[in-house]
Amino acid sequence: MAREIANILFVCTGNICRSPFAQGIFTKGAVQQGLQGVTADSAGLLALPGNSATHMAQRVAAEYGADLGEHAAKSVSKDLVSWSDLILVMEKPHEDALLNAFPEATGKVLLIRHFGRFGSRRRGIADPYGLDYDAYRFCFLDIQDAVSGLIDFLSKRSTTFEPIQVTCYAGYKSNESPRSFVWGERMFNITKIVDRWYDSGVDARSQVADYFKVQTDDGGTYVIQYNRLFDSWAVMIR
């Protein structure tokens, strides 16, 4: 079944610099891009609940139109993990610690840089805490790049595709040999796979999606997509 992304959780260490940056950038960017139906929150693995964003974080965010003045830190919790459809962390150790504490988060966690449009998508984003203005500004812009890519991804996903349920032939992986799919309340049996191709997204070294052009028993031809990031299927509608 295609998994909808309605709730996104940004996670860092103390929830006073990086993850508030990400939440603020996402909230502002979603409004500007007209992205609806997606909510963002943030938390820290070692947060002291109630702490405000650092003064330097507030200053840099304000310069780019994001208001962190009312931010209050909170810790990652089982409830937040359950609420989240997607959890974006700043560094690989965050992912490891989060999955160790909350195994139920498996399949939801990615490095935030995975959606970055410039530079490596495999590196982490360093903590600017205790550093100077330039370190905070660089951190903000790095996160802004990744969050902008995330918003573009979600906008394209919500306007170009609709989720479907796909059944593959027994013995094959979830992205191989689709047999049929359910779209809305209707079942489509696949009679022929006409073509298949791949999309690596931003980073050509990392395969993101499989596309299948298929013919079905109603005489129609459809393009269906398997998204490897979120283990989800969708049908292209335009």
The set of catalytic residues is 12, 18, 127
Strand, coil or helix: 3: coil
User: Whole-angstrom Cα distance, residue 153 to residue 209?
Assistant: 12
Question: What is the C-alpha R_g of the chain?
Answer: 20
Single-letter amino acid, residue 77:
S
CA distance 154 to 160: 10
Q: What's the sign of the alpha-carbon dihedral 57, 135, 33, 233? A: negative
Instruction: DSSP for 54-69, please give it.
Output: PHHHHHHHHHTT---T
The pairing of strands 178-183 and 186-199 is antiparallel
Q: Count the alpha carbons within 13 Å of 196 in the hemisphere toward its beta carbon.
A: 9
